[in-house]
Amino acid sequence: MIKTQRQRGFSLMELLIALMIIGVIATLGIRALTGNTDKARYIKAMDNLRIMSQGLDQYYMSNNGKYPDLASWDAMVEPNSPLVKKNLIPANMSPKDPWDQPYEAKSGKGTYELKCAGDPNNPGERPAIILEPGRLQGGPTGQAPPEGGPPAGGGGK
């Protein structure tokens, strides 16, 4: 009687093939995740600009058609800002965009301008965003904002 030994475990070749397959799947997953992270940052920047825009528009409507005189985004988000004091914007808004660059903003009696420089690593796909009363420049479509955006004729220039 000849006894045959049963092989236990995997051969080196089988392990290498399995590791290679796992590596390919991981690479594809990381690439997809990175693209979604960049898109999420861009959406967050647009959302922050819209929140500020809506706060400024509410201030305009409750103050006889005048925007507050604020020279920068930092002035708009500081605790003593009229926008924060009147709860028109959240008190904890960041002065920097998701790419750690400062937002640019100014508002005056009849208008305002809010800017985000966009994705510095991919300006072609995620360009600068500029919000003014009643219009949006840049953004993913480069068109006017959907309903619920800044009111048209909010201030005139």
**pLDDT tens digit sequence for 93-109:** 999 999 999 999 999 98
96 in any annotated domain: yes
pLDDT value at 115 more than 80: yes
15 in any annotated domain: no
32 in any annotated domain: yes
pLDDT value at 72 more than 60: yes
Confidence of residue 125 (pLDDT cuts 50, 70, 90): confident
What integer pLDDT is reported at residue 3 of this predicted model? Answer: 66
How many CB atoms sit inside 10 A of residue 12's CB?
A: 7
Domain count, the chain: 1
Rounded Cα distance, 50 and 97, in Å: 13
Q: What is the helix (H) or strand (E) element at residue 20, kind and residue range?
A: helix 12-62
Rounded Cα distance, 134 and 111, in Å: 10
Average of per-residue pLDDT values in the chain: 83
Q: What is the helix (H) or strand (E) element at residue 82, kind and residue range?
A: helix 82-85
37 in any annotated domain: yes
Q: What CATH number has the domain bearing residue 85?
A: 3.30.700
